A and B are shown apart, each in its own frame.
Chain A
Amino acid sequence: MFKPTPTGKLLLHVANLMVIVFILLPVVAVFIGSIQSEKALQADTRRLLPLEVTLDNFTVILTKGQQRGRIFEQATYLPDNIKSFYAAVTNSTIVAVSVTFLTLLFGSLSAYTIARQRYRWTLFLLQANIVARFVPVIVLMIPLYIVMRSLGQLNSLTGVIVAETGFLLPYAILILAPYFDMIPAELEEAARIDGCTRLGAFLHVVLPLVTPALAGCGVIMFIASWHELLVPLILNARPDFMTLPVIIASLVGDVFVFFNLMMAICLLALLPTVILVALLQRYIVEGLTAGAVKG
């Protein structure tokens, strides 16, 4: 916009460098922590880079503890939850994909009508969704735990999917509504004159026009579900039904699990969403902006 002076430019470079270092600090830490042995981390507590690099932390997780490699040779104990890594990945994937699908499906139906048809009750529904976005999960989890317990739905993926869909649906609606608002109503009217039903006009005319919004909203929903800890933590206590964040949280109190193994499993858990964000950055930025500021 305005050409900075040479000194100004240097200051901008320095500021950028500071921000970049701050952003990358945890990423570097998780990477370096995961490629060394417990022994190496404990032997020299002032050393930054490991003397030797090992992939044993990943091997032991990815082979469910079958192949222990050199650094776990003498380990007599390995947490069971580490061994159910694959089950956790499967559960996390099932939950996140289902939640994404359901929130997009119901969210777009709602957002479209809320944006198009201004009745008193649709306005009320919009406001209810805005307030619902603020409700802290912990408040809902205590009663939901008791309800699911009495229904015998603890330790089931369905319970987690239903709960997460309910929590995220208001946010999906807030993200999608502004996009539907931007589609001119004349398009549907033309389709209706040509004999389309209301639903047909929505499915064949409007929905294809908002695919970028669906992509942005979908990836935001997937990430939110992949990251969700409290819902599955409280509802699912059996290892077969745990999601990745729950498995990882269970390592927190385990004195026998050292940072190397923790960093390795964290790195594996964060990769999918990091890749998604890298690929779909533009859509996410648009979706996040739309969800906070309508219009």
Chain B
Amino acid sequence: MRASHFAFFMNLPTIVFLCVVLAYPIVFAGYLSVHRVGLAQLRRGEFPFNGWENYGRVFEDPLFWIGIKNTLLFSAITVTSEIVLAVAIALLINQAGVWTSRVTRLLILLPYAIPPICNGLIWSFLYSFQFGFLNRILFSLGLIETPINWAGNPDTALYALTVPYIWRTLPFAIILVHAALQGIPRELYEAAAIDGANAWHRFRRITWPLLRQIIAIILILRTAFAFAVFEEILAITQGGPGDATWVAAWYSYKITFAPPSNFGMGSASAFILALMIGLIALVYLRLIYRRVTV
């Protein structure tokens, strides 16, 4: 068999899956987003064309804009915190002579093993106003007199939600930074030490420049995934209190599957989210993946 034919047959299953489960649904979502698709139309199997009406209604919906605003704020907070924490913790577990660093290193992957929906429920127990575990800890330590309503206060709910998400997704970032740290030759640090550079200078002049690439990767990957946050929202606040924690994916989900189910509007809003994430993906492809590969 010729090499090119062989390559084609080896890739056939992948191509079929990509077309059936990814490409076709995206095109179909685009189709749905310009048609009227409610439960009645779904039963009849006919979707009347309605042009840009779904997009118009989505853009006129204040909840959609609240969702977009919250998604951007949520992503900005989680991604920034994750990068700062990942660099700090990766440097920490990279310390050879400190035994507690070895303990931390053993535990780093634990959050990665927790199902997101369980993580959400566990934090809803931690955050519970009346029965919450976090308030119990603070009471026991004598730090608070009255319970704090972590996720039930519209002013703090979105910030409260960032913590469980950071907790669950931080291991990925730490692992990448730690792998990059281990790739930095020791000689660089030794030479710097001979030249009299202190710890800050060594970090600023050697570590940081060599970490920039991996940090760019984390920044892009984590932003794209944070844009689609769903499980923690469902488990802890369901968008509430009021509309304080509506995010883009939650909006699409509710509009589509909560009565009165509007699949057209749901597709339109999901399509907008996909376009936002698609832009991030293109940046990743152009700026980073190519440079690493070639």
- A residues in contact with B289, CB < 8 Å: 130, 294
- B residues in contact with A12, CB < 8 Å: 92, 95, 98, 100-101
- A residues in contact with B118, CB < 8 Å: 30, 245, 248, 266, 269-270
CA distance A294 to B214 in the complex (A): 11
CA distance A13 to B95 in the complex (A): 11
- A residues in contact with B227, CB < 8 Å: 136
- A213 interfacial by beta-carbon distance below 8 Å: no
B13 and A109 form a contact (CB under 8 A): yes
CA distance A125 to B36 in the complex (A): 34
- B residues in contact with A22, CB < 8 Å: 167
B248-291 Cβ-contact flags toward A at 8 Å (1 or 0): 01001100110000010011001101100110111011000100
Partner of A1, one of B140, B186, B221: B186
Distance from A45 Cβ to chain B, minimum over Cβ atoms (Å):
6
- B45 interfacial by beta-carbon distance below 8 Å: yes
- B116 interfacial by beta-carbon distance below 8 Å: yes
A162 and B228 form a contact (CB under 8 A): no
Q: Mark the stretch among B19-27, B56-64, B153-161 that contacts chain A.
A: B19-27
Partner of B274, one of A46, A136, A163: A136
CA distance A165 to B289 in the complex (A): 23
CA distance A259 to B112 in the complex (A): 22
A134 and B284 form a contact (CB under 8 A): yes
Using A29-B133, A230-B230 as known contacts, say yes or no to A223 and B121 having CB atoms under 8 A apart: no
Distance from B142 Cβ to chain A, minimum over Cβ atoms (Å):
11
The contact size tier of chain B is 35 or more
CA distance A253 to B238 in the complex (A): 9
The interface residues of chain B, by DSSP majority, are classed as helix
- B residues in contact with A263, CB < 8 Å: 121-122, 125
Distance from B245 Cβ to chain A, minimum over Cβ atoms (Å):
14
A269-295 Cβ-contact flags toward B at 8 Å (1 or 0): 110011011100100110011001111
- A241 interfacial by beta-carbon distance below 8 Å: no
Among B4, B108, B257, B293, chain A packs the most CB atoms within 10 A around the CB of: B293
- A16 interfacial by beta-carbon distance below 8 Å: yes
- B32 interfacial by beta-carbon distance below 8 Å: yes
B22 and A270 form a contact (CB under 8 A): no
Using A277-B109, A292-B221, A295-B293 as known contacts, say yes or no to A252 and B29 having CB atoms under 8 A apart: no
A130 and B292 form a contact (CB under 8 A): no
Using A125-B15, A289-B175 as known contacts, say yes or no to A46 and B139 having CB atoms under 8 A apart: yes
Using A46-B139, A132-B18, A234-B257 as known contacts, say yes or no to A249 and B114 having CB atoms under 8 A apart: no
B165-176 Cβ-contact flags toward A at 8 Å (1 or 0): 001000010011
Distance from A92 Cβ to chain B, minimum over Cβ atoms (Å):
10
A127 and B285 form a contact (CB under 8 A): yes
- A79 interfacial by beta-carbon distance below 8 Å: no
Kindly identify, within residues 66 to 106 of chain B, every residue whose CB is under 8 Å from any CB belonging to chain A: 88-89, 92, 94-98, 100-101, 103-104
Using A109-B11, A131-B281, A134-B277 as known contacts, say yes or no to A26 and B98 having CB atoms under 8 A apart: no
Kindly identify, within residues 212 to 257 of chain A, every residue whose CB is under 8 Å from any CB belonging to chain B: 223, 226-227, 229-230, 234, 244-245, 248-249, 251-253
B121 and A266 form a contact (CB under 8 A): yes
- A187 interfacial by beta-carbon distance below 8 Å: no
B123 and A284 form a contact (CB under 8 A): no
- B191 interfacial by beta-carbon distance below 8 Å: no
Partner of B131, one of A149, A259, A293: A259
Smallest Cβ-Cβ distance to B47: which chain A residue: A146
- A residues in contact with B234, CB < 8 Å: 229, 249, 252
- A179 interfacial by beta-carbon distance below 8 Å: no
- B residues in contact with A47, CB < 8 Å: 136
A136 and B11 form a contact (CB under 8 A): no
B121-147 Cβ-contact flags toward A at 8 Å (1 or 0): 111011010110101110110000001
Kindly identify, within residues 186 to 232 of chain A, every residue whose CB is under 8 Å from any CB belonging to chain B: 197-199, 202, 223, 226-227, 229-230
- A residues in contact with B104, CB < 8 Å: 16, 19-20, 23
Partner of B126, one of A29, A133, A173: A29
Distance from A212 Cβ to chain B, minimum over Cβ atoms (Å):
15
- B65 interfacial by beta-carbon distance below 8 Å: no
Distance from A105 Cβ to chain B, minimum over Cβ atoms (Å):
8
- A residues in contact with B113, CB < 8 Å: 223, 270, 273-274, 276-278
User: Which positions in A face B, CB cutoff 8 Å?
Assistant: 1-4, 9, 12-13, 15-17, 19-20, 22-27, 29-30, 32-33, 41-42, 45-48, 105-107, 109-110, 112-114, 116-117, 119, 122, 125, 127-140, 142-144, 146-147, 149-150, 162-163, 165-167, 169-170, 173, 197-199, 202, 223, 226-227, 229-230, 234, 244-245, 248-249, 251-253, 259, 262-263, 266, 269-270, 273-274, 276-278, 281, 284-285, 288-289, 292-295
A and B contact pairs by CB, cutoff 8 A, 21 listed: A1-B94, A9-B97, A19-B89, A20-B104, A45-B135, A46-B139, A106-B13, A110-B14, A129-B14, A134-B278, A138-B249, A138-B253, A142-B252, A142-B267, A143-B28, A147-B25, A202-B10, A245-B118, A266-B122, A269-B118, A281-B109
> Told that A4-B95, A138-B230, A245-B117 touch, could you supply 4 new A-B pairs with CB distance under 8 A?
A142-B270, A266-B115, A293-B179, A293-B214
Across the A-B interface, give the 7 residue pairs with the lowest CB-CB distance, nearest first: A166-B21, A16-B100, A136-B228, A134-B281, A143-B28, A277-B113, A266-B118
